[in-house]
Structure 1
Amino acid sequence: MSYRLYVQPAAPFRALHGDMDGQRFDWALIDASGVFQASGQDDDRSVIEQTLTQNDLEHVLLVGLLPGDDVLFCFAEIPAKQARYVRQALPFAVEEQIAQDIDSVHLALGKRSEEGFRVAAIDQQRMAIWHELFDAFQGADLEALYPDAALLPVSESRWCICLAGEDTLVAGSRGEWFRMKTENLSIFSYTLAQPDKDEVVAEIPVTLYGSEEDLARYADNIRPIETEDRLRVTRDVLQMTPLELLAHAQHNALCEPINLCQGTFENTDKTGGVWRVWRPAAIVAGLWLALQVGVELGLGYYHHQQAAELENQAMSLYHDVFPQDTRATAANVRRVLEGRLRVARQQGPRADFLSLMAQAGAEYDKLGGGQNLQFDSVNYSRQRGELVVELRADNYDRLSALRSAIGDRGLEARIGSVVNDSSGARARLTVSGGS
């Protein structure tokens, strides 16, 4: 019987700061029929590995759940249908939605939808850390890495919300997901109530999951959502942990998450079974390849020389126009030129609401959000591509620090309508895609 082990890193995320052995996890083990066999919370890796060893379990597949705010969701409009061409065009299709150098981002491709291909984007170095952490588990083979919120069972609802203590996971029917602080949930009531483009609905269905304790503890944060006229909220009291809900949804195909284990992070078959089946065909192919190499070697060398000469000519022309540019190479000169043209036309990239909110929220948390810095309201203009946030802080310097931190992410942040009073400073922060 095969088993699947779901593992979710617990805060604080020590692995991101180099302490792999100190990272602790929430976890759940289910069998092939979907029955939970074991689970735990805030355990270190040795406890999980010991459980697998003591029960002499074989064929265990590991599913790692990354923090949803580490992974950005976006769409890619690519007309091609063949996977090879889609992957080649993917970086160019999403480059304007990512607020960092696209070469430093790992992109994972999901299914095609009416809006385009679903795409998950994560910082390359951060992805490498998470992959190394989960791949090091003994007694289980890494099968997939998913953003945790992407496993919520959206079902017939437009939005699915799951309270998980101080954090809340949110997923939408279009495939989008995000993770946020539960205390900030109330500010999303207006946004959740907005219908999709060209959609006319009387009510927007929302499913709210949470334990009795969390539903009671965060009643004030939930109330604005449940009292919003356009939202029809259905409560579902959890009799299991949030992680077990995610495991149940993924096992029963109630969600369509994007597996981040693609490209350089694609998993290899450690059993060797597939190789044994295809080994005879591989031997024949190898012999044929050896014969072809001898025939093609001379022709390949000639074409290589021609290509090198053309590349030198192209770079010579480029440096005649841009003599101070030292970062352009023959491999990336097209992308560099396209970037210069975008700047010249003053058409900076636009980010959607989830991208702007995720990045602004990350800097908000770093600066002590909820204590020295608080959101009063959030509004988003799809037409202008701007996120407008009403803020309160104990002083103007903290507001300025937030603006600078968001600007360092490649976004444009402006502060206006500043009012200083005895309790601190109030201002309006406007965030857009930058230029």
Structure 2
Amino acid sequence: MNEQLLIRLPSSDQDVINWMVWSDNEQEVIAAGELSGSAALSSLQEKAEHRRVTVLVPACDVTQHHLILPKSAQRSWQQVVPFMLEEQLAQDPDDLHICILAKAKDGVDVACVSQQQMSDWLEMLEDANISSQAWHVDSFCLPQPETEQVSALQINQQWLFRFADGRGMCIDQAWLSVALPLLVKDDQQLLIKHYSPAPDIEVAGIEWQAASPELPMKLLADGAKKASFNLLQGRYATENPVTKLWAQWKKAAIAAGLCFALALTCQLLDTYNTEQQLATVDANLRQVYKKVFPQVSRIRDSRIRSDFRKAIAALDQAPQQDFLMMMTQLSSAFGNTDDFKPLSLRYEQKKGEIRLQAQAPSFQSFEQFRQALKPYASEQGTLSNKAGGVVGTLIIRKVL
């Protein structure tokens, strides 16, 4: 998201709401304006879609405290801080939303907002159907001042101040003349660098120095990008979108993972079985090789392939090849002729013929067998009835 919607919520639902849409790519304000109250906040719902929404809250609703913690309580500050604040505040700590600002060696800086005020702000946004994961205190978004300096900005009828020591403050315009003298202690000189026209108020020890003027919401938007403090902590912490998406698709992802694991297991089993079969075939092949080539002492895969190729090539050139091919055809003929039983078989290599004596139930069986021998030629010898069947001789030879 290269655009953001900045909304400054008021203390009450009747106060003015400032807003601005800023483009990071174009580095310019797309739109800006004011709303008369929280009832008009819903008009920003369309602008909030597909944009980062950053919320600013008034510093006047947030108090800051520095607490000295014993070393034993450094890690369990959440349990200790409420009791320590009870001594400084008249309000019940249980009614406060306590956030950590920063940790130091000797203590911790915390910010406090009433639970009721947090609920009111949440209700404003929920009624307008706007959600945000970043809530910043407006005065903390002012430019960081140098030592013994203060950054100041006027927005609506309020002045925002940010001090070099990290404090933030919001003062109504009407109370400015009363509050400013309290900022100067022990004749200390204070330089206020203002980004809005300075008020017509003279206070001893305070010097006003004009900075480059900026649109108030533009200046706060720049500071919000650098702000590390987010008011949405503890019970108000927003759920990470990735976590929310994971919760929605968790069951489907687990089911998909199980299916993948099952498929992978089946594939591994198939691979294992295939490897076992290949190992069995390899063992049988080596066993046959040892029988065919007993003189070979060291068996290698390349040697096996080479020796078998030579043996097959030699077999193709040998006279026995004719006998093997004739026997193949003879075997097929026996399979296609029922009740045709061989009694004796003799192969004459010089003539290239087979003399077969066989028994069949009829003369037609001999004729069927001769037809099954084709393309080999066959010559039928004397046939005679014997023991309820027909016995005869066939001479089978290759057609030249």
How many angstroms does 1:101 deviate by?
0.9
Q: 1:267 aligns with which of 223, 232, 238?
A: 238
Q: Using the alignment, how far apart are the partners of 1:181 and 1:120 within structure 2? A: 20
Partner of 1:20: none
| Alignment correspondent of 2:29 | 36
Kindly state the Cα deviation for residue 192 of structure 1 after the two structures are TM-superposed.
2.3
How is 1:309-328 mapped onto 2 (pairs within 5 angstroms)?
none
Where does residue 4 of structure 1 map in the other structure?
4
Counterpart position of 2:145: 155
Deviation track 1:34-81 (CA, whole Å, cap 9, x = no partner) reads 5433222126223212334xxxx52x2322222222111111222459
Indicate the residue corresponding to 1:244 in structure 2. Answer: 218
Name the SS for the 2:222 alignment partner.
helix
Query: CA offset at residue 210 of structure 1?
Result: 0.9
- Aligned pairs, how many? 248
Query: Cα–Cα, structure 1 residues 25 and 204, in superposed 2: closer, same or farther, change >3 Å?
Result: closer
Contact 1:7 1:63 in 2 (8 A): yes
Which residue is equivalent to 2:350?
none
Cα distance in structure 2, aligned partners of 1:96 and 1:104: 15
Contact 2:3 2:23 in 1 (8 A): yes
Cα shift at 1:93: 3.0
Match of 1:51 in 2: 47
Query: Is the 1:118–1:175 Cα contact (8 Å) retained in structure 2?
Result: no
* Alpha-carbon separation, structure 1, partners of 2:239 and 2:136: 17
Q: Is the CA contact (8 Å cut-off) linking 1:153 and 1:249 kept in structure 2?
A: yes
For the residues of structure 2 that align with 1:39 and 1:110, how far apart are their CA atoms? 30
The one-character-per-residue Cα deviations of 1:203-222 (angstroms, maximum 9, x if unpaired) are 433212214xxx4xx42x3x
Provide Cα deviations, 1:95-150, integer angstroms capped at 9, x if missing partner.
22222111111101111247732211111122112123234544x54112223222
Matches for 1:94-109 after TM superposition, within 5 Å: 94-109=85-100
Q: Deviations over 1:4-57 (max 9, x none)?
A: 32111357x227xxxxxxx762111223455433222126223212334xxxx5
1:235 aligned to 195, 207, 210, which one?
210
Distance (Å, rounded) in 1 between the aligned partners of 2:157 and 2:90 = 27
- Unmatched segments (≥5 aa) in structure 2: 255-400
Aligned ranges 1:311-390 → 2 under 5 Å:
none
Question: 1:173 Cα shift?
Answer: 1.8
Tell me which of 33, 57, 64 is aligned to 2:55: 64
Indicate conservation of the 8 Å contact 1:61/1:141, yes or no.
Answer: no
Given the superposition, is the C-alpha separation of residues 191 and 73 from structure 1 closer, same or farther in structure 2, using an over 3 Å criterion? Answer: same
The correspondence for 1:190, drawn from 177, 181, 187, is: 181
The one-letter code matched in structure 2 to 1:247 is A
Amino acid in structure 1 at the alignment position of 2:213: L
Q: In the superposition, relative to structure 1, how do residues 232 and 106 fare at CA in structure 2: closer, same or farther (>3 Å)? A: same
Calculate percent identity across the aligned residue pairs. 22
Measured on the aligned residues, the alpha-carbon RMSD in Å equals: 3.4
Q: Deviations over 1:388-416 (max 9, x none)?
A: xxxxxxxxxxxxxxxxxxxxxxxxxxxxx
- On the 8 A contact 1:75/1:94 being kept in 2, the answer is no
- Secondary structure of the 2:231 match is coil
- Residue ranges of structure 1 left out of the alignment (5+ in a row): 16-22, 196-200, 284-435
Contact (CA 8 Å) 2:74, 2:107: kept in 1 or not?
no
SS in 2 for 1:191: helix
Q: Please give the TM-score of this superposition, normalised by the length of structure 2.
A: 0.53
Corresponding residue to 1:27 among 19, 29, 47: 19
> Does the CA-based 8 Å contact 1:144-1:260 persist in structure 2?
yes
Letter in 2 for 1:9: L
Structure 2 Cα separation of the partners of residues 123 and 188 of structure 1? 23
Aligned 8 A contact 1:10 1:42 in 2: no
2-structure distance, mates of 1:114, 1:6: 35
How has the CA–CA distance of structure 1 residues 278 and 90 changed in structure 2, closer, same or farther, with 3 Å as cutoff? farther
Higher RCO structure, 1 or 2 (CA under 8 Å, sep 6+): 1
| 1:178 is aligned to 2:169 | yes
- Matched AA of 1:266: A
1:83 to partner: Cα distance? 7.8
After superposition, the Cα gap between the structure-2 partners of 1:84 and 1:31, relative to the gap in structure 1 and judged at 3 Å, is farther
- Cα distance in structure 2, aligned partners of 1:191 and 1:114: 29
Task: Deviation per CA, 1:258-297: give whole Å up to 9, x if none.
Answer: 32211111111245477379969x98xxxxxxxxxxxxxx
Q: Structure 2 counterpart of 1:112, which letter?
A: K
Please report the TM-score for the alignment, with normalisation by the length of structure 1: 0.50
Q: 2:10·2:57 contact (CA, 8 Å) conserved in 1? A: no
User: Does the residue aligned with 1:142 lie in a helix, a strand or coil?
Assistant: coil
CA distance in 2, matches of 1:99, 1:142: 31
Q: Which residue matches 1:207?
A: 193
